[in-house]
Amino acid sequence: MLKEELYKLIIKKKSFLCVGLDSDIAKLPKHLLDFDDPVFEFNKAIIDATIDYTVAYKPNLAFYESRGVAGMQSLEKTIQYLNKFPGQLFTIADAKRGDIGNTSKLYAKSFFGNEDVSKNFDAVTVAPYMGEDSVAPFLEYKGKWIILLALTSNKGAENFQLLESEGKKIFEHVLEKSGKWGTSENMMYVVGATQARMLTEIRKIVPDHFLLVPGVGAQGGSLEEVAKYGLNDGCGLLVNASRSIIFASNGNDFAEHAKSEAGAMQKIMQTLL
């Protein structure tokens, strides 16, 4: 999906909501465990319930890879289902990959280069620590995006990301340096919602890029603050909510509660836009 297409989708749905499919099998409603693939049935129901309010879906691969073959089958079926809605949503593999060039080429192929295009994602999260040659292979795919980790919402972010070097914080070096590798047409950045007040400084460095912002909802980040400091003329935000939507209820009515939570966020986003 091109940047212009993503922006049009945001305007059409009056939303910049991303739903994280962090589908922990231990937290699923009990009645779903009777299905052959309870995680896929859960994901499908969540997607159907929230798609009118949502522009992006982000499966976190940890919840799938940790279950071995069964988990990867759930992920494959989920992305194939998502790709049955062309032009209606943006898909993100939250994989946080990043390795030496040859390995990164294969990681990029696994997310973007499947011959069966129904198995491909629009974007993948990438760690920048190993530098340009670990990121470049992901940028070879036209119409695909990398979402580079910049300033995350976890407590450990201060261990490295907020350290200063040559008068700048490490995450600021990441933003400046990586801006020479890609463009605002194929590169986004992860910025945690709990770091919302730093968005002013971030926007000085990357004014035109999209930012993927996790941490709203269960992690306590403020949607209004994120919008105040992070919105640009092209929206420029994808705000992720996971547990607060998908696990709003653990009963038979889980999909209805997910729909209600997503709809409530969309209403706020419509006002903010």
Whole-number percent of the chain with pLDDT over 70? 99
What is the model's pLDDT at position 220? 62
Given pLDDT bands bounded at 50, 70 and 90, which one contains residue 155? confident
The larger pLDDT score, comparing residue 14 to residue 192, is at 14
Our answer to whether residue 168 is catalytic in this structure is no
Amino acid identity for residue 163 in this structure: L
Given pLDDT bands bounded at 50, 70 and 90, which one contains residue 52? very high
What is the model's pLDDT at position 143? 94
Tell me how many domains the chain contains.
1
pLDDT digits 0-9 by tens, 137-147? 999 999 999 99
Mean pLDDT over residues 105-110, rounded? 96
Catalytic residue among 96, 168, 169, 228: 96
Per the CB < 8 A criterion, the answer to whether 261 and 249 are in contact is no
Instruction: Give the Cα separation of 230 and 165 in Å (integer).
Output: 25
Lowest pLDDT segment from 39-48, 113-122, 192-201, 214-223: 214-223
Mean pLDDT over residues 67-78, rounded? 97
Given pLDDT bands bounded at 50, 70 and 90, which one contains residue 216? confident
Per the CB < 8 A criterion, the answer to whether 118 and 80 are in contact is yes
- Please determine, for residue 46, whether its predicted confidence score (pLDDT) is greater than 80: yes
- Please determine, for residue 249, whether its predicted confidence score (pLDDT) is greater than 90: yes
Its domain, for residue 73, covers 3-272
What is the model's pLDDT at position 219? 59
- Please determine, for residue 193, whether its predicted confidence score (pLDDT) is greater than 90: no
CATH code at position 78: 3.20.20.70
Q: Count the neighbouring beta carbons within 10 Å of the beta carbon of residue 147.
A: 25
Question: Model-level pTM greater than 0.75?
Answer: yes
Given pLDDT bands bounded at 50, 70 and 90, which one contains residue 217? low
Mean pLDDT over residues 190-214, rounded? 91
- Please determine, for residue 101, whether its predicted confidence score (pLDDT) is greater than 90: no
What is the model's pLDDT at position 67? 97
What is the model's pLDDT at position 96? 96
The larger pLDDT score, comparing residue 98 to residue 256, is at 256
What is the model's pLDDT at position 47? 98
For residues 170-179, one letter each, b for 16 or more C-beta atoms within 10 angstroms of the residue's C-beta and e for the rest, the string is bbbbbbeebb
Q: Which two tokens stand for residue 253?
A: 């009515």
What is the model's pLDDT at position 218? 56
Instruction: Give the Cα separation of 257 and 251 in Å (integer).
Output: 9
Q: Which two tokens stand for residue 142?
A: 């036209």
Share the mean pLDDT of the chain.
Answer: 94
